[in-house]
Amino acid sequence: MKIFGYFRSSAAFRLRIAMNFKGLSYDYNLVNLQSGDHLSDDFKRINPQGRVPAIDIEGNILTQSLAIIEYLDEVYPAPPLLPSDPLGKAKVRGIAGLIACDIHPLNNLAVLNYLRDQLTAEEEARLAWYRHWVKEGFDGLELILGANVETGQFCFGDTPTVADICLVPQVVNAKRFNCNLASYPEILRIFEECMSLSQFADADPMNQPEAAELA
């Protein structure tokens, strides 16, 4: 397997965590988003959308982090990253979706660049934007985690799931943008729990090969 990723991409971070849980090794292809590698013809032949991560599985290219992780979970079922019952699955996917659809897309590099270049938003306004969408999403998520009887050591029960795999990169990113996370004790507790595991910690952007040069 060959993964096309970038250390700071939250979506690539998710995929790294899942690969670590499944114990899968892979060739790593750096796609430097800062220098525009993702917009090159070479990369667009792999993913016409020009986004990371993408994975090449014996010539089949898969894109979209959650679609890839669900694939891995089906083909390499141990350890499972989703509960076995439909309701449990829906709750885990609901948390994953809250983060992956309602927070992360608003705060990725392409969006922040659009705000700067097309809407001439100053750094302060871009930071306020970033923090606003984290707050909108985390306010809801903190309440959901507090209310769900299934919340355990992790977002759902006592083993990590796709929900935690989405949560951790979002928290790492929020910390990098100095978001105030004081009102999210449940989110922070689960984040710390996750980061005590090597599968999450090893996937941290700062532990990737390109971090030393590009961070």
Rg (CA), the chain: 17
Interface with a copy of itself, residue 77, by CB under 8 A: no
Q: What share of the chain is helix, strand, coil (3-state, %, to 5)?
A: 60, 10, 35
Q: Which of 28, 37, 56, 94: binder of a copy of itself (CB under 8 A)?
A: 94
Interface with a copy of itself, residue 119, by CB under 8 A: yes
In the complex, least distance from residue 79 CB atom to a copy of itself, rounded to whole angstroms = 17
Residue 80's SS3 state is: coil
Dmax (CA) for the chain in angstroms is 49
Q: Which two tokens stand for residue 76?
A: 């390499």
Per CB under 8 A, which region of 106-114, 179-187, 189-197, 202-210 contacts a copy of itself? 106-114
Interface with a copy of itself, residue 16, by CB under 8 A: no
Q: Which of 132, 177, 192, 215: binder of a copy of itself (CB under 8 A)?
A: 132
HEC string of 126-175? Answer: HHHHHHHHHHHHHHHHHHHHHHCCCECCCCCECCCCHHHHHHHHHHHHHH
Binding string to a copy of itself for residues 140 to 179, with x set by CB under 8 A, is what?
xx-xx--x--------------------------------
30: left (phi over 0), alpha (psi -120 to 50) or beta: beta
Q: Which of 93, 154, 184, 191: binder of a copy of itself (CB under 8 A)?
A: 93
d(CA 108, CA 118): 15
Number of residues that bind a copy of itself (CB under 8 A): 54
In the complex, least distance from residue 140 CB atom to a copy of itself, rounded to whole angstroms = 3
CA distances from 190 to 63, 97, 203 (A): 27, 17, 16
Find tokens 């971070």 and name the residue.
13
Interface with a copy of itself, residue 63, by CB under 8 A: yes
Q: Which is nearer to a copy of itself, 65 or 199 (CB)?
A: 65
Binding site residues, a copy of itself, CB under 8 A: 44, 47-51, 57, 60, 62-68, 70-71, 74-75, 86-87, 89-91, 93-94, 96-98, 100-102, 104-106, 110-111, 114-115, 118-119, 121, 125, 128-129, 132, 136-137, 139-141, 143-144, 147
